[in-house]
Amino acid sequence: MTDNDPLAVPYRERERSVTMERMEEQPVSGSEALVEGDLHEELFTLNIGPHHPATHGVLRLLTTLEGEVVRDIKPIIGYVHTGIEKSCEDQQYWKVITFVERMDYLAYYFNATAYCMSVERLLEEEVPARAEYLRVIHMELNRIASHLFALATGALDLGAITMLWWGCRDRDLVLDLFEMSSGQRMHPRYIQIGGVFEDIPPGWEKKVRGFLDVMPTRLDQYEDLLDRNEIWLERLKGTGVMSQERALELGVTGPLLRATGHPWDLRKAMPYSSYEDFEFEVPVGHQGDNYDRFKVRMDEMRQSIKIVEQALDGLPEGPFITSNRKVALPPRHELATSMEALIHHFKLVTEGFRVPPGEAYVAIESPRGELGCFVLADGSSKPARVHMRDPSFVNLQSLPDMARDSLIADFIACVAMLDPILGGIDR
Amino acid sequence: MEVTRTRTNGAADMRVRGLKAQQMLRGELAGKDLDEFVEERLLFTQLETAQNWARKNAIFPLGFGLACCAIEMITVIGSPRNDLARFGAEAIRFTPRQADLLILSGRVSIKMAPIIRRLYDQMLEPKWVIAMGACSSSAGMFNNYAVVQGADKFLPVDVYVPGCPPRPEALIYGIMKLQDKIMGTPDMGWRERYQAYGTEEDARPEALRESPLDQEEPGGPRA
Amino acid sequence: MPDATGLELIAQRVRSSVADEAVTGTSYFRGRATLEVAPHAVHDVLAYLQAGDEEPWDALMSLHGCDYLPEEPRFGIHYELLSMERTDRLNVKTRVGLDNANVPTVVDLFPTADFHEREAYDMFGVVFDGHPDMRRILLPEDYTGYPQRRDFPMGGEPVLFTFNENKYPRWYD
């Protein structure tokens, strides 16, 4: 090991961000008067531990406080580390979808889509148009659900508990739609390599349209509740400001980057999965404070509603999964008549398809930013490496910058609007 | 609570009851009549049963969520459709000192396990644990180095709720089962119905084991 | 993605401005351009690609490790570069072996690499020289071993079936 051996420093020492020394040498702003005499300013390390009242998962924050002002934050993660990437190496390509879905557990369709698109690029597989539109519909509905949940728990952190009831109520409507199309509310394994698992049932379109009719009024209600509430505005406006350059340096993407004014959205910039067929806007903020992040998410929900409407209107007919029997399971009625279908089914279920050696990295726009999936294939039926570039993992690095020199309450608002999902961070 | 219910048939019965009430007030009822009168109108309880009834109807869950099951747990607690408040478990306490119920919602990684154990130790008796979801019951699909293979490796678990993630209704069913367990009827009579005694796995050494027909005291085995 | 010829031009420019042996190869597969560099030259190559090139790549989207076990050198570190003006991606790859698993850090060029490099160290054991805080991020601090390596066992417990349940003692035995 090199001489800056990380294991040579004792454990407790490594966790400190600043030592507790007397602050006479560097009086902080506004407190020169207090430094005389016996009174000295001290930095206090507070451990906002993995179990805390915020609902964002098991994130541990070592905050260095000076009074009520936060001077430094060190996030410590790894409390939900599940070894998903290692487990994926032991599963067939088809089975990896279930593992990968559980990473960013609010945006499950996005995880599955990123992985499936990677494998499809390795296989050079074409996804039929109907499947692409269905993927888009489900992903945008999932984006609405994810933003609703982020707003609900964010508002809960800031004290606006009504938003939790309302957000969860509407999210239940979306989960009902998912349950109708795939049978499960969360982690439905609906998006498969080559398309989607099965076609939408009759009556689903009508239900989605019913949901889309109701949703804009609900969003207006949320804005009425929150956007004109003085406490909400006071807590969010001007807090957690991050400049655009710093955000770009830190690799931040998604609503946080768009709140600083940079209109980078992978759905528009590098369109994938037939997003170029839809007309929608990318909401962008001005200052990069928490209020802009909140507004960007609200507006993104409205744009998602528009996208789902356009996708339903233009839903093409056709197969919902690729017809390449070596990759996708044949439909069950063929198993009774065709011998090749039986053999394909048998091979796919027992061994899985093999992917020629190569690497692929595909990135999509998840509700939190750029979600990329790297797949290394070595020619067998199991991937050799699956790595997800999770947006929350990178966005978390911006938390110290956002919350430096702000009060604890503002720092809580920063965490709420940062919307970290620890499943994706820890994988 | 022992409550006897009798069927009244209309006006004639009301008249008879009215007469009886008059007699009791005058002190004319005695013996069996008086006993019956009192039984019909008062609730007989044992203190334990009343205590358990109060405990089961006012469970304070600890606000603790690990991973995807936590989303469904928040849906149970926070969504108007599946509402935990109707079971009395509305007051979620975020400090373990004031909470009764630890719902382990999500996968327990090796880094988090000592912390969960510490949280469990900080909770005061009586306390219960629900292992929600497949990952906390038995590591679910994550049979690897980073996940503790079931929370019952370091915590006593009372109710296991399967699912990945379990539906909110499933979690509510699990909480209702826990309520039954708190009331003292953990198996609700099925052992008697199927004569399934002696099938429990008892971790205590031979000498200390009781006969399987001994009833456990109400309030759950860990109260 | 730059196509195959564009990739060759980039490789040429990197060779001429950084060093000739910095670039060890190029590969273009399924629309993905990969520039392979030598481990000691990673920092210079990325500095050049970030600022010096006529087509700069200003954002590092992902830095991850990979274990190509039967092939040597064993570990691969991938840098996914993105250019937002040209909406283009380039992959830079370096290979290190087990005995000299050191790669210079790029945290000074791309501050986003902080957590990524810690995770690559945690999972593979590749040390990034010059990183301000090189310690484990996802696993407990005192964990031994680097799990994502291909020869690290999967862990967990064997699944009990009737044919093997008597072989494995339960926790209460």
Same domain, B18 and B74: no
Which band of pLDDT confidence, cut at 50, 70 and 90, is reported for residue C16? confident
Domain that holds residue B23: 11-41
Asked whether the beta carbons of A185 and A178 are under 8 A apart, the reply is yes
Look at residue C76 and give its three-state secondary structure: strand
CB atoms within 10 A of CB A234: 12
Question: B218 in a domain, yes or no?
Answer: no
Nearest to A374 among C78, C115, C135 (CB): C78
CB atoms within 10 A of CB A229: 14
Question: B195 in a domain, yes or no?
Answer: no
Nearest Cα to A321, choosing from A200, A170, A151, A176? A200
Which band of pLDDT confidence, cut at 50, 70 and 90, is reported for residue B187? low
Same domain, B31 and B78: no
Domain that holds residue A272: 84-426
Domains and CATH numbers, chain C: 4-129 (3.30.460.80)
In chain A, how many domains are there? 1
- State the pLDDT at residue A333: 82
Give the mean pLDDT of A45-67. 83
Res. A310: pLDDT tops 80: yes
Asked whether the beta carbons of A188 and A125 are under 8 A apart, the reply is no
Contacting partners of chain A (3+ CB pairs under 8 A): B, C
Note whether C156 contacts B145, CB cutoff 8 Å.
yes
- State the pLDDT at residue B202: 52
Same domain, B27 and B109: no
Q: Are strands B128-132 and B101-105 parallel, antiparallel or unpaired?
A: parallel
Chain segment A405-423, per-residue pLDDT in tens = 888 888 889 998 888 898 8
Chain C: nearest CA to B50, how far in angstroms?
35
Which band of pLDDT confidence, cut at 50, 70 and 90, is reported for residue C11? confident
Asked whether the beta carbons of A121 and A360 are under 8 A apart, the reply is yes
- State the pLDDT at residue A56: 79
Average pLDDT, chain A: 85
Question: A37 in a domain, yes or no?
Answer: no
Which stretches of chain B are DSSP H helices? Answer: 11-26, 31-41, 47-57, 68-78, 113-122, 133-138, 168-183, 190-194
Asked whether the beta carbons of A399 and A72 are under 8 A apart, the reply is no
**How many CB pairs below 8 A link A and C?**
115
Nearest to A360 among C32, C138, C141 (CB): C32
Res. C94: pLDDT tops 60: yes
Note whether A187 contacts B68, CB cutoff 8 Å.
yes
What is the CA B185 to chain-centroid distance, rounded?
A: 9
CB neighbours of A196 closer than 8 A, spacing ≥ 6? A131, A134, A135, A138, A190, A320, A321
Contacting partners of chain C (3+ CB pairs under 8 A): A, B
Give the predicted TM-score (pTM) of the model. Answer: 0.84
Interhelix angle A204-222/A290-313, rounded to 10 degrees, is: 160
Could you tell me the strand order of the sheet in which C75-83 lies? C23-29, C32-37, C88-96, C75-83, C59-67
- State the pLDDT at residue A5: 53
3-state SS, one letter per residue, for A285-314: CCCCCHHHHHHHHHHHHHHHHHHHHHHHHC
**Best mutation target, A1, A389, A395, A422, to test chain C (most C CBs within 10 A):** A389
Cβ contacts of C66 on chain A, cutoff 8 Å: 374, 376, 384-385, 387
Res. A53: pLDDT tops 90: no
The neighbouring-strand residues paired with A195 are A192, A321
- State the pLDDT at residue A22: 39
Return d(Cα B191, Cα B198) in angstroms, integer: 10
Question: B169 in a domain, yes or no?
Answer: yes
The torsion angles phi and psi of A26, rounded to 5 degrees, stand at: -125, 85
Q: Which residues between 75 and 104 in chain B have a beta carbon less than 8 angstroms from any beta carbon of chain C?
A: none
Note whether B143 contacts C147, CB cutoff 8 Å.
no
- State the pLDDT at residue A3: 42
The neighbouring-strand residues paired with A60 are A76
B110 touches C: beta carbon within 8 Å: yes
What is the CA B41 to chain-centroid distance, rounded?
A: 28
C56 touches B: beta carbon within 8 Å: no
Of A183-197, A315-329, B183-197, the least confident: B183-197
Res. C56: pLDDT tops 90: no
Question: A342 in a domain, yes or no?
Answer: yes
Chain segment B98-118, per-residue pLDDT in tens = 888 999 998 999 888 888 988
Interhelix angle A93-101/A108-123, rounded to 10 degrees, is: 150
Same domain, B20 and B79: no
Which band of pLDDT confidence, cut at 50, 70 and 90, is reported for residue C140? confident
- State the pLDDT at residue B141: 87
Res. A63: pLDDT tops 80: yes
- State the pLDDT at residue B12: 65
Chain segment A4-17, per-residue pLDDT in tens = 455 555 655 555 54
Same domain, B67 and B148: yes
Which band of pLDDT confidence, cut at 50, 70 and 90, is reported for residue A295? very high
Which band of pLDDT confidence, cut at 50, 70 and 90, is reported for residue A148? very high
Q: Are strands C75-83 and C23-29 parallel, antiparallel or unpaired?
A: unpaired
Tokens coding B144: 């690897």
Cβ contacts of A87 on chain C, cutoff 8 Å: 154
Which band of pLDDT confidence, cut at 50, 70 and 90, is reported for residue A366? very high
Closest-CA residue of B relative to A185 is B167
- State the pLDDT at residue C2: 66
Chain B: nearest CA to C26, how far in angstroms?
36
Tokens coding B112: 């988090």
**How many CB pairs below 8 A link A and B?**
100
CB neighbours of A135 closer than 8 A, spacing ≥ 6? A109, A113, A127, A191, A196, A273
Look at residue A100 and give its three-state secondary structure: helix
Question: B191 in a domain, yes or no?
Answer: no
Which stretches of A1-128 are DSSP H helices? Answer: 11-15, 32-35, 84-88, 93-101, 108-123
Nearest Cα to A264, choosing from A256, A276, A273? A256
Asked whether the beta carbons of B153 and C171 are under 8 A apart, the reply is yes
Chain segment A73-89, per-residue pLDDT in tens = 888 898 999 889 999 88
Res. B204: pLDDT tops 90: no
Produce one character per residue of B42-52: b if its CB has 16 or more CB atoms within 10 Å, e if not: eeeeeeebebb
Note whether C112 contacts A393, CB cutoff 8 Å.
no
The torsion angles phi and psi of A343, rounded to 5 degrees, stand at: -65, -40
Produce one character per residue of B95-108: b if its CB has 16 or more CB atoms within 10 Å, e if not: ebeebbbbbbbbbb
Note whether B70 contacts A164, CB cutoff 8 Å.
no
When comparing pLDDT for B23 and A188, which is higher? A188
Same domain, B104 and B20: no
Return d(Cα B198, Cα B190) in angstroms, integer: 13
Contacting partners of chain B (3+ CB pairs under 8 A): A, C
- State the pLDDT at residue A8: 57
Note whether A80 contacts B109, CB cutoff 8 Å.
yes
C132 touches A: beta carbon within 8 Å: no
Note whether A186 contacts B109, CB cutoff 8 Å.
no
B209 touches C: beta carbon within 8 Å: no
Look at residue A61 and give its three-state secondary structure: strand
Res. A46: pLDDT tops 60: yes
Produce one character per residue of A198-212: b if its CB has 16 or more CB atoms within 10 Å, e if not: ebbeeeeeebbeebb
Which band of pLDDT confidence, cut at 50, 70 and 90, is reported for residue A284? very high
Question: C73 preceded by cis ω (within 30°)?
Answer: yes
ipTM of the complex: 0.90
Of A24-33, A59-68, C31-40, the least confident: A24-33
Question: B2 in a domain, yes or no?
Answer: no
B106 touches A: beta carbon within 8 Å: yes
Which band of pLDDT confidence, cut at 50, 70 and 90, is reported for residue A34? very low
Cβ contacts of B112 on chain A, cutoff 8 Å: 50, 58, 79-80
**Best mutation target, B115, B138, B143, to test chain C (most C CBs within 10 A):** B143
Same domain, B89 and B179: yes
Asked whether the beta carbons of A198 and A184 are under 8 A apart, the reply is no
Question: A39 in a domain, yes or no?
Answer: no
Give the mean pLDDT of A221-244. 89
Tokens coding A108: 């499950």
CB neighbours of A146 closer than 8 A, spacing ≥ 6? A106, A107, A367, A368
Q: Which helix (H) or strand (E) holds C34?
A: strand C32-37
Same domain, B179 and B122: yes
**How many CB pairs below 8 A link B and C?**
30
Same domain, B17 and B126: no
Give the mean pLDDT of B62-86. 86
Chain B: nearest CA to C150, how far in angstroms?
13
Cα Dmax for chain B:
78
Cα Dmax for chain A:
93
Question: A368 in a domain, yes or no?
Answer: yes
Same domain, B18 and B63: no
Note whether C139 contacts B143, CB cutoff 8 Å.
no
Look at residue B192 and give its three-state secondary structure: helix
Note whether C141 contacts A385, CB cutoff 8 Å.
no
Cβ contacts of B205 on chain C, cutoff 8 Å: none
The torsion angles phi and psi of A328, rounded to 5 degrees, stand at: -110, 150
When comparing pLDDT for B51 and A107, which is higher? A107
Nearest Cα to B61, choosing from B100, B3, B34? B100
Tokens coding A7: 């294991």
The torsion angles phi and psi of B47, rounded to 5 degrees, stand at: -65, -40
Question: B211 in a domain, yes or no?
Answer: no
Question: A253 in a domain, yes or no?
Answer: yes
Of A115-124, A357-366, B130-139, C162-171, the least confident: C162-171
CATH number at residue A292: 1.10.645.10
First to last CA, chain A: 27
Reported for A172-180, long-range contacts at CB under 8 A and 24+ positions apart, including other chains, are A172/B75, A172/B79, A172/B81, A173/A211, A173/A214, A174/A141, A174/A142, A174/A144, A174/A145, A174/A148, A174/A211, A175/A145, A176/A207, A177/A141, A177/A204, A177/A207, A177/A208, A177/A211, A178/A138, A178/A141, A178/A142, A180/A204, A180/A207
CB atoms within 10 A of CB C123: 26
C147 touches A: beta carbon within 8 Å: yes
Asked whether the beta carbons of C64 and C78 are under 8 A apart, the reply is yes
Cα Dmax for chain C:
69
Same domain, B89 and B114: yes
Res. C107: pLDDT tops 80: yes
Question: B35 in a domain, yes or no?
Answer: yes
Q: Which residues between 275 and 334 in chain A have a beta carbon less than 8 angstroms from any beta carbon of chain C?
A: none
Nearest to C157 among B143, B201, B203 (CB): B143
Question: B165 preceded by cis ω (within 30°)?
Answer: yes
Could you tell me the strand order of the sheet in which A358-366 lies? A358-366, A369-377, A385-389
Question: B190 in a domain, yes or no?
Answer: no
Return d(Cα A365, Cα A117) in angstroms, integer: 13
In chain B, how many domains are there? 2
